[in-house]
Amino acid sequence: MIAGVSAPLCFFMPETYAPVLLKRRARALRKSTGNPHIVAPLDIQKQGIKVILTVTLTRPLRMMFQESIVLFTCLYLAIVYAIFFIYFQAYPVIFQGIYGMNTGVSGLMYLPIALGAVLSCAVFNWWDSYLYKAKFRGKSWANIEEYRRLPLACIGGPLYVIALFWLGWTASPNIHWAVPMLSGIPFGAGYLLIFMAMLNYLADAYETFSASAQSAASCCRSIFAVCLPISTTPMFNHLGVSWSCSMLGFFSLAMSLIPFAFIRYGEHIRRNSKFCQYLHEQKEAERIAEEEEDRLHHKTGGGRDVEKARVTAAPIP
């Protein structure tokens, strides 16, 4: 229902895709100056249904298998997302099966997860403010994609792992139900911190191509969220609550190393990425155009856009 109401609003949202904005700007300049040589990169790129089918629509899949950052981010988010859905089946097993709660009362056990999510938003806002101040002061680390986003995942990952082991090894008739219930606080906080950090990192790292990277991540985690929860009941029946949660915890522990690895090697990975190299060339082209305009003493906009088109004609991957 919410999607149905909000979907029409998409038609009134402003365009934000940089190549399209540049194309519109070039068209407006051609009209205002009468110079037909003012073109944007999209004007000289091959277009048509063939390009859409073979390049645009395949880009998310190509990025997932060709880009290490996209691949491991997809895996991490898929595991975290699937475990989140596994919780919807695990909580009744624990709080109804072990503690004898009815359906209504056991549903209240999810509230600490919401509390943890709210707390993570406070952490995110604090970090965003800290990052803004660092950028204002000219701190070099604030301009590195890995240091801007991933520290939140480095906090959220361990919280997520702790929550899984906490739930698994405190869910017992001999332990008060409030103890496993409170594990939802680090679970909710860790879950949201991981998602906010990793998704924002994809957007920062791939900029123009972030929609394709996000599409790959969305499809991957949706598939995991559909398939893995099917095994929840058999897994808890065969392994028990403690070892089922522990197995999920060990998977999460392995995945939690990914943001640390990205902080260490992410910049090197991006330097060798075809997509990131293209983005770097675009930025370099814009810098050259800016310098050329300054050198020509603020010559009319036509000269600048012609020069920009000349140096950004590399095919979009």
What pLDDT sits at residue 143? 84
To the nearest 10 degrees (0 to 180), the angle between helices 257-271 and 184-206 is: 0
- Separation of alpha carbons 161 and 123, rounded Å: 18
Burial of 137 (0-12, 13-18, 19+ CB in 10 A): exposed
Say if pTM beats, i.e. exceeds, 0.75.
yes
In the chain the domains, ranked by start, together with CATH numbers, are 66-264 (1.20.1250.20)
- Is 6 in a helix, a strand, or coil? helix
Total number of residues shown for the chain: 317
What pLDDT sits at residue 309? 44
Q: Phi-psi category of 297—alpha, beta or left, where left has phi over 0 and alpha has psi -120 to 50?
A: left
Question: How many CB atoms sit inside 10 A of residue 32's CB?
Answer: 11
| Mean pLDDT for back-to-back runs of 10 residues, the chain (317 residues) | 81 80 81 78 71 80 93 96 94 94 93 96 94 89 88 97 97 95 97 96 90 93 93 92 96 96 93 87 71 59 46 59
- Is the Cβ–Cβ distance between 213 and 70 less than 8 Å? yes
Helices and strands (DSSP H and E) totals, the chain: 16, 0
What pLDDT sits at residue 304? 46
- Separation of alpha carbons 227 and 37, rounded Å: 53
- Is the Cβ–Cβ distance between 16 and 29 less than 8 Å? no
